[in-house]
Amino acid sequence: MAQHTVTLIPGDGIGPELTRAMTRVVEAAGVGIEWEVAEAGADVMDKYGTPLPEHVLESVRRNKVAIKGPITTPVGTGFRSVNVALRRELDLYACLRPAFSIRGSGARYDDIDLVIVRENTEDLYAGIEFAEGSDGAKRLIEFVAAEGAGTIRQDSGISLKPISIMRTQRIVRFAFDYAIANGRKKITAVHKANILKHSDGLFLRVAREVAEEYAGAGVEFEDYIVDATCMQLVLHPEWWDVLVLPNLYGDIVSDICAGLVGGLGIAPGANIGEECAVFEPVHGSAPKYAGKDVANPTAEILSATLMLKHLGETEAAERILNAVRAVIGEGTHVTYDIKRSVTGSTEGSVGTQAYADAIIGQL
Ligand code: NAP
């Protein structure tokens, strides 16, 4: 008997095979979930005229919890990112991306345990853009010149970077509440406020104000410039605890963190709002591996452990995480990416479903 109903968005590329491996592992852990499958992405464009049909959003709103595989976004042209639209439509304002070491992953470090909290709804990803040569771009260029704010070349495409007080307050409060609930000791606000005075400058000022609200909560607060953060993450990944960042930096820095712990194949994520939560790996749809049963489903499976914790199924989540650690630690039933990190060759690796079988065997 199902205890939970969860919207399952398989996605495209490697998404369907990864979500299949994930559902098999979750079911083998004994959690009763009814999966309400909702398709989104390029493949449903012909049928519904949009890559994100309304019934997909309705399903997530009804069930409050969804897990998805990656969805391809055409580069430069075509429809806007379904992933970004989903986050915006459901106001999934907090993107949580834990990065922790797993012994045997072949990562360069073995002592990392940090969490990225990325603002998910504004900044350069707000989707407010003006194509080169468009009326909007021309009017904006004239406006900027008339304001004496600077000169923009006529042959420019323009993307705006709005950062607001309200959305900064709620993401920094989310980071503090998360830190307190999870026994974390330090929050670092990451920014480029020295150059971007009115967007990142606002982010930093508001982050400091919110930190004062939490004075006495036992969580240290500091801030760091984004470029220096990237270098220090690579030099001293053990320094960091919880990092809170505007959208674009959060996206880039979380890929750095994925690399520090062994690659995109093992980096999970969650998008959380007041009403709903959507869990998904950090990585994309890796089209060249689609349908080949080679991609690593760990990121998808670990995203499911975040989902299970969210659903109150903490014991099952821990059991799955321990099974993943056991299989990767043993190193005999791992996918190509981990084998390559550890030995320099993909020889002896197993496929997506065989790896999931090995995890199921450890549960
Ligand atoms: P990607 O799909 O993340 O793949 C980049 C590389 O990362 C792969 O070639 C592979 O490296 C490695 N990788 C990713 N996932 C892996 C896995 N599960 N197992 C093993 N290795 C994995 O990035 P992309 O090629 O830039 O993006 C492809 C599409 O996905 C784009 O349309 C992009 O917009 C979209 N995307 C979607 C989401 C989302 O749905 N949330 C997120 C990011 C990107 P090696 O070949 O070196 O092994």
Q: What is the pLDDT along the chain (363 residues), one digit of tens a residue?
A: 679 999 999 999 999 999 999 999 999 999 999 999 999 988 888 788 888 999 999 999 999 999 999 999 877 656 778 888 899 899 999 999 999 999 999 998 989 999 999 999 999 998 899 999 999 999 999 999 999 999 999 999 999 999 999 999 999 999 999 999 999 999 999 999 999 999 999 999 999 999 999 999 999 999 999 999 999 999 999 999 999 999 999 999 999 999 999 999 999 999 999 999 999 999 999 999 999 999 999 999 999 999 999 999 999 999 999 999 999 999 999 999 999 999 999 999 999 999 999 999 999
CA angle 3, 44, 252 (to 5 degrees): 75
- Give distance in angstroms: CA of 276 to centre of ligand 1: 25
Check residue 333 and report its DSSP letter.
S
Which pLDDT score is estimated for 117? 98
Ligand 1 atom with least separation from CA of 68: 40
Residue of the CA atom closest to atom 8 of ligand 1: 286
Residues 6+ apart with CB under 8 A from 22: 67, 297, 300, 301, 303, 304, 356
Ligand 1 pocket mutation, candidates 125, 264, 292, criterion most atoms within 8 A of CB? 264
**297/295 Cα distance (integer angstroms):** 6
Task: Look at residue 96 and give its three-state secondary structure.
Answer: strand
Question: pTM for this one?
Answer: 0.93
Tell me the longest C-alpha to C-alpha distance in the chain.
68
Residues with Cβ within 8 Å of 202's Cβ and at least 6 positions away in sequence, in order, are 163, 164, 165, 168
Residues with CB under 6 Å of ligand 1 are 14, 70-73, 83, 264-265, 280, 283-286, 295-296, 299, 337
| 69 Cα nearest atom in ligand 1 | 40
Annotation says 192 is catalytic: yes
Beta strands at 186-191 and 158-159: parallel, antiparallel or unpaired: unpaired
Q: What is the DSSP letter of 52?
A: S
Q: Which of 156, 160, 151 is nearest to 133 (CA)?
A: 156
Known catalytic membership, residue 251: yes
Q: List b or e across 225-256, with b for residues whose CB sees 16 or more CB atoms inside 10 angstroms.
A: bbeebbeebeeebeebbbbbbbbbbbbebbbe
Residue 245: closest CA among 234, 233, 262, 236: 233
DSSP 8-state class, residue 245 = E
